[in-house]
Amino acid sequence: MSALDPAGVLKPARDVRFRRIDDEAVVVRQRAGEVLVMNETAARLLELADGRARVADWIEVLAGEYDIDREALERDVLRFAAELAAEGLLEPVEVDDGV
């Protein structure tokens, strides 16, 4: 698994559909014919992965929602987002920084 840059932008993979139901997310991977049930934290990351917000922005949002050490939060978000990307649930978005 490669390291994830907080400046990176991620979005759900093209074949991934999800719906939040209470505190969980039901995720359908269409190409794999797979249905996954993910916990509240994973559901929140999928919501934040809108293809526009940087991963660093997710961390800011989550810091306001959870009472957790900032360094631990950043480490955990980067690790879990990288895992979701490695599993093919999230994919990177090319960011034009105007350069």
pLDDT in tens, 41-70: 899 999 999 999 999 999 999 999 999 999
In percent, the amount of the chain with pLDDT more than 70 equals 94
Contact criterion met (CB below 8 Å) for 98 and 17: no
Strand order in the sheet with 16-21: 16-21, 24-29, 34-38
Q: At what angle do helices 40-48 and 55-65 cross, to 10 degrees?
A: 130
Domain boundary assignment for the chain: 11-87
The CATH class of the 11-87 domain is alpha beta
Q: Rounded CA gap, 52 and 93, in Å? A: 8
Q: What is the pLDDT of residue 94?
A: 86
Q: Where are the beta strands (DSSP E) in 1-99?
A: 9-12, 16-21, 24-29, 34-38, 90-93
Q: Rounded CA gap, 58 and 63, in Å? A: 8
Confidence of residue 97 (pLDDT cuts 50, 70, 90): low
Residues 57-84 have a mean pLDDT of 95
pLDDT over 60 (residue 34): yes
Closest to 54 measured CA to CA, from 94, 17, 13, 21: 94
Q: What is the pLDDT of residue 1?
A: 45
